[in-house]
Amino acid sequence: LFSGSALPAQPESPFAVDPTTESLYVVGIHDENTLYRLHKDGSKYLFLETSTIQWLALMPKYSVIVIASDYTILSYRLTSSFDQLIYSCDSLDNCGEVAGLAADDETGDVYFLIQHPNATKSLFGLNQDVRTPYLIASSTDFPPIRQLLVAGEKLAFITKTGQMGVCDKKLGSLNFNLVLNGVSLLVPSANVTPTNALNFSGNIAFEDDLRTNLTWSIDPAPRKGEIIYKISMYKEKFGDERFVDFSVEQSYTMNSELLDEWSSKQKFDVQIDAISAWNIVSRNRTGLFAPTKPPSSVRNLKIYATQQVGNYRRFFFT
């Protein structure tokens, strides 16, 4: 599925798959506060830096990812912008710890388990219309788990001992598959077309010999207004002085004020970020040159002349 980014057989940290963009969300190997987005081609993008991530749940249809630490649950848009504080507990002496998290992309429902100090577990729900968590059910015998998934009208889970089980959405009708032992991972099977995938095709280039209009191409062709393009131009080379602008077209006319500031045929590097509600992809080009400037107009022009009068020479200027 992913070039150089196979799903882990022994998942040490949470992850989530977005089949609509053919991308994978993973926690940093050595930094559990960092979430990355991996694309099918192996490219890696920093998505978010937050508190230690213990659980992930993804809803591509709603362009939302839900992230949980031990005592906090937050949701973010897939553009990395903050969406909602779902659960938080500040008093650690009498605090419920997050013990499970799942989301239903069809309905927009979010489910999370809270384990109280008395070992009771409570299941809460939240939907995208009424964005206030509500208590669904509590249980004293629900096992410790390391993965939770929505499976139709059921919840599927893997226990910390590697058993696979299912229950209803009220934590009842608990059932374990005794044939399967040492289960490492559950991955939803979905035949989903990558409708939100973005890819650059071809290079960033100048549209004409004047070298003022940059162009690029996105595949598949997006609908108008669906993507915003962030254009970052670096004087001389990447890392140097930067100029940023935006476009909603697959082209950009270089800013006239910037060209006035730059030298004639100024060398520069450029990066284009294509940003949708679900995805960000980038393409860069190095070693481009700005247009040749026309000669500047003459200022304070003075004309000098001489006139020979007899043995004398007279000088004039205007």
Q: How many CB atoms lie within 10 A of CB 298?
A: 7
Angle at CA of residue 240, ends 235 and 245, nearest 5°: 60
CATH architecture of 199-289: Sandwich (2.60)
Would you give the distance in Å from CA 288 to the centre of its chain?
28
Tell me whether domains 15-177 and 199-289 share a fold: no
Phi, psi of 57 (to 5 degrees): -145, 135
What's residue 140's pLDDT? Answer: 93
What's residue 147's pLDDT? Answer: 92
CA 304/CA 306 separation, integer angstroms: 7
Q: For residue 32, is pLDDT > 60?
A: yes
Top pLDDT among 2 and 312 is at 312
Burial class (CB in 10 A: 0-12, 13-18, 19+), 78: buried
Q: Domain coordinates of the chain in residue numbers?
A: 15-177, 199-289
Q: What is the pLDDT of residues 118-149, one digit of tens each?
A: 989 999 999 988 889 999 999 999 999 999 99
Coil vs helix vs strand at 243: strand
End-to-end CA distance of the chain, in Å? 78
CA 9/CA 219 separation, integer angstroms: 32
What's residue 88's pLDDT? Answer: 93
Q: Which residues contact 271 (CB under 8 A, 6 or more apart)?
A: 231, 232, 234, 238, 282, 283, 284
Which CATH number among 2.60.40.2470, 3.50.50.60, 2.120.10.30, 3.40.109.10 corresponds to the domain 15-177?
A: 2.120.10.30
The pTM assigned to this predicted structure is 0.80
Report the residue count for the chain: 318
